């Protein structure tokens, strides 16, 4: 039985081939370990309609859906039905948040939640011609070490563009879930409590990647990499001989220098903080559970340990004004942060704002999911989704245009992805 797992293209992305499709590679590994033949059809880089010649027949097709590109995934499913008349299943963040959405009726089976175990159950049912519910709600996998390592051999790993320190890097997920409750985040896919892989399991994956590809640069994609000094110390001790470099994410309310010393000593070169805003009022509305002052301190402490610091910022969270946007720009200038990225706020299905827009002062919220993208193209403007009493979506886009002008004029430090300088015109020291 041949199962084809399809990565949907994202035409709004500046570089759609930045990262390998790790989610699908995990699913592929689970299926293959259970005796199935698996193909990955990576449509990254295609336009809305140029993918059609890439779709080939299989016994079962699986499509991963994210909200801003779900409409393309639905088109792909309809194309498969019309041309091959074979079953098509879907999973991912969008159907997990909205499994009963009318537009998903084209899919024979919808997986809600993590898919490594449930996709095997679904495949078994199709193979054995057994009845299966249309919506499958999978349980969280408590032992992450039990999940097979991603089947990276099914894609051309050298075709992806992500870099750390100017060198090719691969992504690694060290944990799933998050213990915090930011109002912009949908936690339905991976849960509200963090679950961790063992350090031995992570090091095993790194050793394999070095052996197979000669790559020694990595990006830890999980939110909780710096959660405890114990894990960082164990990783430092067990990975030190590998001589790797990596960047990771961290909480900006962590101001203990020992944490950042451990990141640096284990090969860390950059840490990325979800700063979100330079306004305390906006941080409180987000439920970020930190302060502007702690954000300043975390940046300085991490830099003192030898790390470059990237800050992620949101423009347009409900309550945002022109003045609070200026506070974020002033924060960047004052903090000396090495790099910064801004994303237009989008109320992704499942997050607190999406569930109760009136509570957050939203006067209009579109359900046109085709426009639920955070950033697109060289102007960096996201979709026009919400209006508030402070800023309409059109007014917000004008503010984002000014933010982009500031980002292009500011001098940044540390290695950037190629498109930042080439396509966006950012400047580095």
Stretch 155-178: mean pLDDT? 93
386/345 Cα distance (integer angstroms): 9
Residue 180 burial (10 A CB sphere; 0-12, 13-18, 19+): middle
Q: Flag whether pLDDT at 325 surpasses 80.
A: yes
DSSP string covering 124-166: HHHHTT----SEEEPPP-S-GGGSPPP-GGGS-GGG---EETT
Mean pLDDT for 305-322 is 97
CB 175 within 8 A of CB 222: yes
- Give per-residue pLDDT as tens, 13-27: 888 999 999 999 999
Let me know the angle formed at the C-alpha of 277 by 268 and 283, rounded to the nearest 5 degrees: 105
Banded pLDDT at 166 (limits 50, 70, 90) = confident
Query: Measured between alpha carbons, how far is 1 from 418 in angstroms, rounded to an integer?
Result: 40
pLDDT at 249: 96
What's the pLDDT at 379?
Answer: 66
Helices (H), 184-228: 199-213
Q: How far is CA 224 from CA 76, 147, 202, 414, in A?
A: 34, 19, 14, 23
User: Which of the four pLDDT bands, split at 50, 70 and 90, describes residue 9?
Assistant: very high
- E-state strands within 50-185: 60-64, 88-91, 109-112, 135-137, 163-164, 167-168, 170-172, 175-176
Encode 311-332: b = buried (16+ Cβ within 10 Å), e = exposed: bbbbbbbbbbbeebbbbbbebb
Is the model more confident about 307 or about 422?
307
Question: What would you measure as the largest C-alpha separation in the chain, in angstroms?
Answer: 63
Q: Please state the rounded mean pLDDT for residues 117-133.
A: 96
Query: Residue 377 pLDDT more than 70?
Result: no
User: CB atoms < 10 A from the CB of 33, how many?
Assistant: 13
Average confidence (pLDDT) over 291-305: 97
- Classified as helix, coil or strand, 201 is helix
* Cβ(73)–Cβ(67) below 8 Å: no
* Model pLDDT, residue 378: 58
- CA dist 151 → 155, 156, 295, 309 (Å): 8, 11, 38, 31
Indicate whether 235 pLDDT > 70.
yes
Please report where in the chains the tokens 């805003």 appear, as a residue: 277
Domains of the chain: 2-137 (3.40.50.2300), 162-428 (3.20.20.70)
Residue 342 has pLDDT above 80, yes or no: yes
Buried b (16+ CB within 10 A) or exposed e, 400-420: beebbeebeeeebebbbbeeb
Closest of 271, 234, 221 to residue 251, by C-alpha: 271
**Contact between 327 and 280 (Cβ < 8 Å):** no
Q: How far is CA 215 from the centre of its chain?
A: 22
Helices (H), 34-83: 70-83
What pLDDT is recorded for position 376? 65
Q: Which of 165, 161, 271 is nearest to 216 (CA)?
A: 165
Instruction: For residues 369 and 66, give the distance between their C-alpha atoms in angstroms, rounded to a whole number.
Output: 10
More confident residue, 5 or 420: 5
* Mean local confidence (pLDDT), 136-159: 96
Q: How far apart are CA 307 and CA 339, in angstroms?
A: 12
Extended strands (E) in 189-317: 195-196, 217-220, 245-250, 268-276, 308-315
Percent of the chain with pLDDT over 70: 99
Q: Are strands 163-164 and 167-168 parallel, antiparallel or unpaired?
A: antiparallel
Q: What's the CA gap between 123 and 133, in Å, rounded?
A: 13
Q: Which of 48-52, 153-157, 190-194, 195-199 has the lowest mean pLDDT?
A: 190-194
């Amino acid at each position: 039985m041949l199962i084809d797992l399809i990565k949907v293209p994202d035409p709004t992305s500046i570089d759609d081939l930045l990262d390998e499709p790790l989610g699908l590679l995990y699913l592929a590994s689970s299926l293959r370990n259970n005796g199935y033949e698996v193909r990955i059809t990576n449509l990254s880089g295609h336009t809305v309609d140029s993918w059609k010649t890439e779709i080939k027949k299989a016994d079962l097709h699986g499509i991963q859906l994210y909200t801003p590109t779900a409409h393309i995934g639905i088109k792909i499913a309809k194309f498969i039905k019309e041309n091959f008349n074979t079953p098509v299943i879907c999973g991912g963040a969008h159907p997990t948040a909205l499994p009963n959405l009318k537009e998903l009726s084209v899919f024979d089976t919808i997986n809600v939640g993590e898919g490594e175990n449930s996709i095997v159950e679904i495949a078994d049912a199709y193979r054995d011609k057994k009845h299966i519910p249309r919506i499958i709600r999978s349980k969280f996998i408590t032992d992450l070490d039990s999940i097979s390592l991603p089947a990276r051999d099914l894609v051309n790993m050298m075709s992806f563009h992500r870099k750390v320190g100017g060198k090719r890097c691969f992504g690694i997920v060290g944990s799933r879930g998050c213990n915090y409750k930011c109002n912009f985040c949908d936690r339905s896919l991976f849960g509200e409590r963090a679950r961790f892989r063992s350090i031995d399991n992570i090091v095993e994956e790194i050793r394999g990647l070095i052996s197979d590809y000669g790559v020694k640069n990595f990006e830890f994609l999980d939110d909780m990499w710096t959660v405890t000094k114990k894990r960082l110390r164990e990783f430092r001790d067990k990975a030190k001989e590998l001589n790797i470099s990596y960047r990771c994410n961290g909480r900006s309310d962590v101001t203990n220098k020992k944490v950042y010393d451990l990141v640096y000593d284990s090969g860390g070169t950059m840490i990325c903080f979800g700063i979100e805003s330079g306004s305390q009022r906006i941080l409180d509305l987000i439920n970020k559970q930190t302060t502007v002052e702690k954000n300043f301190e975390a940046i300085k402490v991490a830099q003192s340990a030898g790390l470059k610091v990237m800050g992620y910022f949101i423009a347009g969270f409900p309550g945002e004004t022109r003045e609070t946007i200026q506070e974020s720009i002033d924060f960047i200038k004052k903090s000396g942060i090495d790099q910064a990225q801004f994303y237009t706020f989008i109320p992704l299905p499942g997050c607190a704002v999406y569930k109760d827009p009136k509570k957050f002062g939203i006067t209009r919220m579109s359900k046109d999911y085709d426009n639920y993208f955070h950033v697109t193209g060289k102007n960096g403007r996201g979709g026009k989704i919400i209006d508030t009493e402070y800023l309409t979506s059109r007014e917000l886009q004008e503010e984002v245009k000014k933010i982009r002008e500031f980002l292009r004029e500011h001098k940044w430090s540390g290695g950037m992805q190629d498109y930042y300088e080439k396509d966006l015109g950012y400047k580095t020291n």
